[in-house]
Structure 1
Amino acid sequence: MKILFYDTKKYDKESFDKVLPKYEDIEIEYVDSDISVRNAVYAKGFEAVCGFVSSDFSGKVIDVLADNGVKIILLRCAGFNNVDISRAKERGVLVFRVPGYSPEAVAEHAMALALASNRHIHKGYIKVRENNFSLVGLTGLNFFKKTAGIIGTGKIGAAMCRICKGFGMRVIAYDIYQNPDLDFVEYVDLDTLLAESDLISLHCPLTDDSYHMINSETINKMKDNVVLVNTSRGALIDTEDLIKGIRQHKFHSVGLDVYEEETANVFENREDDIMETSITSRLLSFPNVIVTSHQAFLTEEALEAISYTTLENAQSYIEGHVIKQNLVLPQK
């Protein structure tokens, strides 16, 4: 199988090349650009293409891929809201993902954002570099004996629950499906979680039901001085409502690894560009907000797991026994 690997970064090539020798039937060609309607035609002669969380697998792109003989789309990520799954099924293109590569990597980054924003590490670092050793503006909160509210308790959310428990926090959670492994977690309804949590961390998928679940109404139900963290999907939060809440001093701090309208920015160096949207600039203008560039997954262990699972998905197709739990099907 020949795979055309879109949106290649240095760490992608290094991690996949390390695993690739184990798969004699697979050949990868790397390209720097991400997939689009214009360059999808370059996949002619390839049986598979590989993309990431921000890759455009819209219906039009899938049509071009199918017309040029592509049989499978390999997502080297867990999320698939960037893929027109129904169109892929119509065109006979299978879509595989990596449902669980390193939940601890994302959960640890979520806690890092919570701690760094809470204790104003970003401000303290800059101040000391300028020989300013004043502590004014750096006051944080103890997490010990406070309440952590985890929205979504899949693998990543469960890892975050365990981290919060290790900090000596009371852990409450909201999820349609309760995780039986989390016997120390108290499941509550969303309103209760919002009202009682000192730290709220989002770990749920983006669906029609969860779109903008954090909005003016739900923000108003939160405690004052709450810490909010999002490492899942940007559109879980209505950014305009979030900015309004920040300006009204609702939040002690906010840590975001994802945010709305991030697609053009993710993994790119845009320091010389004029930004199309002011969202990033507006968020970064607040002293109690930290934004990172969708890097929660980025650990050596996670990259190795992503590489291995992606190539296992391809190998299973070659051998005629697809890994069903990694196959993405249209939602009913």
Structure 2
Amino acid sequence: MSQGAPHRGVVLVTGADLAPQATALLQDYDIVYAGKTPGEDDLVRLCAEHQPEAIIVRYGRITRRVIDACQSLRVISKHGTGIDTIDAVAAGERGIAVKAAAGANAPAVAEQTWAMIFACAKDVVRLDKRIHEGHWDKATHKSLELKDRTIGLVGIGAIGARVAMAAMAFGMKVIAFDPYASRSLEGIRMVDLDTLLAQSDVLSLHCPLTDENRNMINAAALAKLKDGAIIVNTARGGLIDEEALVAALESGKVRAAGLDSFEKEPLTAPHRFQDMDNVILAPHIGGVTDNAYIAMGTGAANNVLAVLQTEGATS
């Protein structure tokens, strides 16, 4: 900003880029990028230097320490839906709004969910590797047919509802557990968690991570599953007790798992999952598509403007 220029508010983006459609919405603000993998110290330094009025969260964690470095912060806007990387308590104490781009990546994550379900049910990755190695397993292999089987959804929001619609198209039965659902959807039977675990051939997670549901899929929950069930997680890694899942995969209690999120990210190597051929792994990219990149960016930018422009008009 040149000397003598009028003051422009700063929006800090905890990433290296933002969709052009989003930056166009924020044309009246100076945008500061934190880089691809900002740590807490990086964010504290940038906040102290630039004093942003808004933070758009792509990567890294917005801790109390980061928030305390900001004197002018009015809104923390997630580039996506999960706000578990933001200290909402610390923000609330300061009257700082915390917003998510709800539904922006729902189509992308629902598609990723189905990619993983199919990969698990049809053993796509292992068979591909085998045939590349010169094997022909037609005489010994049997895939899992999904028609008439039951998919259990933990969470029936924008993503879970899309997964459910696809499941119905494939002739599956759909059950769901969601204590926060405001309405029931046609074709979906709402059940308690124990019933869902006991009846699911495919278990798919679509809920936010909270202190109450951390490690909800633990050894006790896995023991209630049908033998040979598939587990897919495109939500948050902390929902699953990873050691308990390893044991269930090794014993055959769980046929296969498709995991797009992990307790610690990036996935700490070496990890037991990396040596298991009945686990499909992805680097938390369910919501990373061309369309979702734009939708999440514009959603996050609009959430910033909704707070800053409203406050500016009433101040």
User: Could you tell me the TM-score, scaled by structure 2's length?
Assistant: 0.88
Q: Which residue of 2 aligns with 1:55?
A: 60
Structure-2 residue corresponding to 1:184:
187
| Pairwise CA distance, 1:218 | 1.0
**SS class of match (2:69):** helix
Alpha-carbon distance in structure 2 between the residues aligned to 1:321 and 1:38 = 28
The answer for the alignment partner of 2:289 in structure 1 is: 299
2:11 is the alignment partner of 1:3:
yes
Moved more, 240-249 or 69-78: 69-78
* Equivalent residue number for residue 41 of structure 2: 37
Q: Distance in 1 between matches of 2:188 and 2:252?
A: 29
CA-to-aligned-CA distance 1:5-50 (integer Å, 9 cap, x gap): 2222xxx44xx22442344313323231414134422233332222
8 Å contact kept, 1:120–1:139: no
| CA 1:178–1:75: 2 relative to 1, 3 Å | closer
Deviations 1:82-134 (A, max 9, x none): 22212112234332221220312111111110111221211222233334333
- Displacement of 1:180 in angstroms is 3.4
Question: Per the alignment, do residues 93 and 178 of structure 1 end up closer, same or farther by CA in structure 2, a change over 3 Å counting?
Answer: closer
Whole-angstrom distance in 1 between the partners of 2:119 and 2:139? 16
Aligned: 1:130 with 2:133: yes
Task: Report what 1:157 is aligned to.
Answer: 160
Identity %: 31
SS in 1 for 2:104: coil
Corresponding residue of 1:231: 234
1:65 aligns with 2:55: no
Is the partner of 1:156 in helix, strand or coil? helix
Indicate yes or no: 2:18 matched with 1:28: no
Please state how far the C-alpha of 1:312 moved relative to its aligned partner: 0.8
Q: Distance in 2 between matches of 1:251 and 1:182?
A: 28
Which whole-Å CA distance do the structure 1 matches of 2:140 and 2:99 have between them?
47
Contact 1:63–1:91 (8 Å) recurs in 2: no
Structure 1: segments with no counterpart, 5+ residues: 266-274, 323-332
- 2:26 and 2:86 mapped to 1: Cα distance? 26
Supply the AA of the counterpart residue of 2:12: L
1:325 counterpart residue number? none
Equivalent position of 1:216 in the other structure? 219
Is the deviation greater in 203-212 or in 285-294? 203-212
Q: Distance in 2 between matches of 1:114 and 1:236?
A: 18
Amino acid at match of 2:297: S
Q: How far off its partner does 1:304 sit?
A: 1.2
| Number of equivalent positions | 301
Is the contact made by 2:228 and 2:254 (CA closer than 8 Å) also made in structure 1?
Answer: yes
Q: Distance in 1 between matches of 2:142 and 2:246?
A: 21
1:283 pairs with 2:273: yes
- Give me the whole-angstrom Cα distance separating, in 1, the residues matched to 2:101 and 2:254: 34
Letter in 1 for 2:40: S
- Residue aligning to 1:327: none
Task: Report what 1:271 is aligned to.
Answer: none
Task: Name the aligned partner's letter for residue 55 of structure 1.
Answer: G
The answer to whether the 8 A contact 2:21-2:298 is kept is: no
Q: Which runs of 5+ in 2 are unaligned?
A: 1-8
CA contact (8 A) 1:200 1:228 kept: yes
Does residue 85 of structure 2 align to residue 79 of structure 1? Answer: no
How far apart in 1 are the matches of 2:260 and 2:163?
15
Cα shift at 1:226 = 0.5
Quick one: distance in 2 between partners of 1:217 and 1:79? 26
Separation of aligned partners in 2, 1:188 and 1:83 = 31
Output the TM-score relative to the length of structure 1.
0.84
Quick one: which amino acid aligns to residue 299 of structure 2? T
| 1:307-322 matched pairs, under 5 angstroms | 307-320=297-310
Contact 2:76 2:304 in 1 (8 A): no
Instruction: In structure 1, give the amino acid aligned to 2:38.
Output: D
Call closer, same or farther: CA 1:134–1:51 in 2, change over 3 Å.
same
CA contact (8 A) 1:35 1:51 kept: no
From 185, 193, 197, give the equivalent of 2:196. 193
Letter in 1 for 2:194: D
User: Which residue identity is paired with 2:14?
Assistant: Y
State the Cα RMSD in Å.
2.1
Question: What's the CA shift for 1:176?
Answer: 1.2
Matched, 1:89 2:86: no
Separation (CA, whole Å) in 1 of partners of 2:101 and 2:179: 22
Distance 1:138 1:256, change over 3 A: farther
